Chains A and B, each alone.
Chain A
Amino acid sequence: GQQVMQIPQYQHVQEGEDFTTYCNSSTTLSNIQWYKQRPGGHPVFLIQLVKSGEVKKQKRLTFQFGEAKKNSSLHITATQTTDVGTYFCAGRNAGNNRKLIWGLGTSLAVNP
């Protein structure tokens, strides 16, 4: 079945360092979404990418969707302690627009 692999599983950085998490799908995606979940919290929608090669920015966060629409990345510049949490990607199969397939998430810890 369709899978979305997300790496790394964990990342520990010093405040001010950059951070990147990557998602790879076994099949072509129609779109991919990114969510952030703080410890003890609930997932919060960050962004949806739809177009091949799309790049979107939200302040220090940069999201990319690969040309083949099979991979995506989230890059955070100059991390802050408020960036702590688990970042999930969730992709929708190009052949089935009803269900999201979630990556396992990347847990980010930031040392002040």
Chain B
Amino acid sequence: DTEVTQTPKHLVMGMTNKKSLKCEQHMGHRAMYWYKQKAKKPPELMFVYSYEKLSINESVPSRFSPECPNSSLLNLHLHALQPEDSALYLCASSPPLQFEGRGAFFGQGTRLTVV
């Protein structure tokens, strides 16, 4: 019963494909995040959007391209990925910059396999 919805749940893509991951939340949160998580590791921050503007890019390769069309939606465009990019991609949202005593709400994630 997560309030952050991610699609698709699973994705297999070739190294020459272009695909997009989608994330939606209706909690009125103005901060949204993309994380990458490898097995048995903590989530690794990729991007932060605050009020629909990109505020943090953790030196992510350009083959990952985020987009925030409005306050409820967050996309991650994927192009020319490598097999090592296979991971669980998590979207999260929170009150702005997590100042308000509440943590981030995570979606169920997209399990991405690059072949």
**A42 and B102 in contact (CB under 8 A), knowing A102-B42, A102-B43?**
no
Instruction: Enumerate chain B residues within 8 angstroms of A59, measured Cβ to Cβ.
Output: none
Nearest Cβ on chain A to B93's Cβ, whole angstroms: 11
B108 is an interface residue with CB less than 8 A from chain A: yes
Stretch at the interface among A12-20, A60-68, A70-78, A92-100: A92-100
Q: State whether A99 touches B45 (Cβ < 8 A).
A: yes
Q: State whether A35 touches B97 (Cβ < 8 A).
A: no
Between A and B, how many residue pairs show CB distances below 8 Å? 53
CA A48 to CA B105, docked complex, whole Å: 13
Contact with B along A26-46 (1 / 0, CB 8 A): 000000010100000111111
What class of interface size applies to chain B in its complex with A?
Answer: 20 to 34
Instruction: Enumerate chain B residues within 8 angstroms of A88, measured Cβ to Cβ.
Output: 42-43
Q: State whether B108 touches A45 (Cβ < 8 A).
A: no
Q: State whether A104 touches B109 (Cβ < 8 A).
A: no
Q: State whether B97 touches A45 (Cβ < 8 A).
A: no
Q: State whether B55 touches A98 (Cβ < 8 A).
A: yes
Q: State whether B103 touches A42 (Cβ < 8 A).
A: no
| Chain A: CB-nearest residue to B105 | A45
Name 5 A/B residue pairs within 8 A (Cβ), A-sorted: A42-B108, A47-B103, A88-B42, A97-B97, A104-B41
Q: Nearest 10 CB-CB pairs, A to B? A: A45-B103, A102-B42, A42-B106, A33-B103, A43-B106, A42-B108, A42-B109, A88-B42, A48-B101, A48-B103
Q: Which residues of A contact B (CB under 8 A)?
A: 33, 35, 41-48, 50, 88, 90, 92, 97-100, 102-105, 107
